[in-house]
Structure 1
């Protein structure tokens, strides 16, 4: 089963060195959204202060299969 890695960039880099085994890219996308939702909920104040938050889901070869971009604009 392929392994996917979920890295977060929000003014600092949080690199996933363990990864998660998932059957395909579609389930990797669902997992990325679950992880992102939890991270955004837990870190809302810090993310709001930085105004940008990104997550990338990489496959075992390092290919980016999905990227979630969150930017907060004011005004």
Structure 2
């Protein structure tokens, strides 16, 4: 089974040196979502500190396979006026 590494980027970088053996990219993607969800559940302020959380998932050759990005958007955001229509 391939080994995937889950690197946390939240204003700092935490490099995963061990990784996890998983059957494929789909399983790794689900694991990355679970990992991010667990981080937010344990410390909800983590997302608010830097307003984003990114988990870079790499393969055994340390090549980026995909990233999971969680964002906090300020409530003051407004859609742009004059869009297509």
* Root mean square deviation of aligned Cα: 1.1
Gapped regions of structure 1 (runs ≥ 5): none
Q: Which has the higher contact order (CA 8 A, sep 6+)?
A: 1
Runs of 4+ in structure 1 over 6 Å off:
none
Structure (1/2) with the larger strand percentage: 1
Structure (1/2) with the larger helix percentage: 1
Provide the TM-score with structure 1 as the length reference.
0.90
Which has the larger Rg? 2
User: Which SS does the other structure have where 1:70 is aligned?
Assistant: strand
Gapped regions of structure 2 (runs ≥ 5): 77-85
Provide the TM-score with structure 2 as the length reference.
0.80
